[in-house]
Chains A and B, each alone.
Chain A
Amino acid sequence: MTFKRSALGLIAAAAIVAPTIGAAQAAQDGIYIPLLTYRTGPFADSGTPIANGLNDYFQLLNTRDGGINGVKLIVEECETGYKTDVGVECYERTKTKGAVVYNPYSTGITNAIIPKTPDDKIPVLSMGYGLTPAADGRVFPWVFNMPTTYWSQASVFVKYVAQQEGGFDKLKGKKIGLIHLDHPYGKEPIPTLQKLAGMYGFEFVTYPVPPKTMQDQRSTWEKIDDDAPDWLFMWGWGAMNPTAIKGAIDVDYPMDHFIGVWWSGNESDVRDSGKKAEGYLAGEFHGVGDDWPLFDEIRKYVIGKSPSQTPESMLGETLYNRGIMNAVIVAEAIRTAMGKFGNKVINGEEMRWGLENINLTAARLKELGLEGFTIPIRVSCEDHEGNHPVYLKRWDGSKWVKHSDWISPMRNVVRPLIEAEAKKLAEERHLPIRECK
């Protein structure tokens, strides 16, 4: 009995200690990048291609190049199901393994871990999502939301509407609606749109969609039909998106006046509606399709080879490409950090420096096999967003096509809002404000 108990105790102890040893080993062997992903649950449709894109690019670097400058990348997924509490658990479980950066892919999780970052000294890269005021790098030195934020995108949408209506003065008296997931993510653009409504005299109406009933939106669309907004923006995610697009079709809402955030413009959002969704617009900040040399490399070195889970048909899809772009930024930030700190296993603080000093030029994109895939990206000590432009793409019934030129956000409106909100948060949370020289 005693022996049995001792043996069980030893096994239990080994089970507890083994991952820690493994993690310590992992951090010594390479750069540890935990990925908070969601391949299960109602948002899996959106989460899976992103996870595949991120993983595939890191796998390519490991397989083809032996990592970055000879240092291997150790990538580990932690399934969050897009649940904030589970995401925080993932963060806590992985941070001690030498994590150099977090990509939470959930505004809820991002907001929950941001307060932990200064103590843990691990940066968060929320690429095009998360807490918009975190773009003020003086208050949030550990958070990066390049290439652009929800507030910037909302301003781009209003700018596009003004272009279509014949000028900002023509917005007066118009009605602009926002159908959004009733979740921290979905509510993000509201302050900016309220501000712009006040500035340009348009009426702004919101239509929240509760996550639990996001597949039953009939009532919401009847309200939209009754209010008849001139333009409608959407901040949706997961199964909300295809349901909303079907809802718009049901009430005959003009699809060319319906614009989705870059998280509402995946192929799976519109494919089911096909031709009926023709004309639907969505914001975008990278290329769609696989017409870049990098994708040939991924086909050659990654697809069909473990641990990649990507079916070849997924290459070039919007959210897969977003995962690729996210991984490119992480990898380039690591390279930047290595340029200063040497070709070694870097830590979170060095990664933070790399992110802040990243300079992804057009020439570098060409070297990576991604010429013209996205705009050159650069941020600064005080601006962690970079205020990069966005373009609109259009669903032509079977695929996305580029619809507009790159449109710059209204920095004169958005930046003061970001700074004011960041200052407010700094006061509320007693955050130090660093000086940027």
Chain B
Amino acid sequence: MEAVGLDVLTWMVDFLSGLFVDPFFAVARRPDKLVQILIQGVSAGVMYSLIALGFVLIFKASGVFNFAQGIMVVFAGLSVVVLIEAGVPAILAIAGAVVVMIVMAFAIERLVLRPLVNQDGIILFMATIGLAFFLEGFGQIIFGADPKPVPVDALMIPDGKIKVLGGLLGKPVRIYELDLTAAGFGALMVAAIIVFLNRTKIGRALRAVADDNQAALSVGIPLRTIWVLVWSLAGIVAIFAGVMWGAQSQAGFSLAVLALKALPVLILGGFTSVPGAIIGGTIIGVGEKLGEFYWRGVMGDGVEQWLGYVIALIVLLVRPQGLFGEKIIERI
């Protein structure tokens, strides 16, 4: 009995030491790795945020959790790639993808959303699940099922790496130009969206629709136009997310699964906050990369698969609306 107690105690000490002490030794051994992991976490966070932004935009305007956002990212990215493969110049390919996403927004409004005006959120959510399945099948018919390399040269996306801080940290830290591009464009996009939502008449109308679409209709806000607009906007964000995610690996239908990475980001940042998507993405990105690297000794591989959800769960317990989400009070 005593031996068993001792074993448990030893295990506890090892476990806690692995969680809270060993990482410091690892940092002392390779300080460059800490900086590398932090940079990697931030860049992963930016990528998660790009997907989360699409969710936030649609949720803000229509109260719909768009399950099809992931496949929209794939659709948008593949549109660019396929057009470039067909010999269309990159800038026109992006313009073409914008047109594709706007047409898709019109079709979704007409065929999916309009018949469901004023239905419960859960009904609209279910409709987007159906939409995701449809788009996946339809996309494979149009684009083919094969993943496709993103032509970074044609798109003038730098994909080299810069090595810095080698003298200071013993070994150099790698900064990928792809990540810098994603961060730069991501920041621009967020700034533009914030200005659009807060400083324009359409942006304010969009928020009114989100609050109560019946009331918004009664004061003359064109609900259908707003929906088309916001789905188009989410589609344009998806183009950027699809191209950047695809550039890291390949543009293909398996990217749609990565969209689920945006879920803890949304829970953490709040479903209605654009800055929340960015900050939530950064916290989740950095947290899971640090956990994966420094806790693998005690938790094994795959920490990043679940740590984001644990962080989000803890936040949910304390702030159910997320860090930046609007507190919803409903009369029951």
A residues touching B (Cβ–Cβ < 8 Å)?
39-42, 44-45, 48, 182, 206-208, 210, 212-216, 218-220, 222-223, 226, 238-239, 242-243, 246, 250-251, 268, 271-272
Contacts and interface: CB of A to CB of B under 8 A. Distances in A.
B249 A242 contact: yes
Contacts of A44: 145-147, 252
B40 A250 contact: no
Contacts of A223: 292-293, 296, 301
A239 B36 contact: no
A268 B44 CA distance: 25
A41 B253 contact: yes
Contacts of A210: 302, 305
Given A219-B292, A222-B36, A45 B147 contact: yes
Interface stretch (B52-60, B114-122, B224-232, B254-262): B254-262
Contact of B37 (A48, A222, A238): A222
A27 to B, nearest CB: 30
Contacts of B296: 223
A250 B249 CA distance: 12
6 contacts: A42-B147, A45-B252, A212-B260, A213-B258, A242-B147, A250-B174
Nearest to B137: A40
Interface of B is mostly: helix
A182 B304 CA distance: 14
B33 A222 contact: yes
A207 B257 contact: no
A345 B71 CA distance: 46
B250 A242 contact: yes
Nearest to B300: A208
B248 interface: yes
Contacts of B248: 215-216, 243, 246
A40 B249 contact: no
Given A42-B253, A214-B254, A219 B140 contact: no
B161 interface: yes
B321 to A, nearest CB: 28
B40 A219 contact: yes
B271 to A, nearest CB: 23
A218 B302 CA distance: 12
B194 to A, nearest CB: 27
A268 B302 CA distance: 27
Given A44-B146, A207-B301, A226-B33, A219 B289 contact: yes
Contacts of A208: 301-302
Contacts of A251: 174
B249 A216 contact: yes
B149 interface: yes
Interface in B249-297: 249-250, 252-255, 257-258, 260-261, 288-289, 292-293, 296
A258 to B, nearest CB: 17
Given A42-B147, A218-B289, 8 more contacts: A39-B145, A213-B258, A213-B261, A215-B250, A215-B255, A218-B40, A223-B293, A226-B33
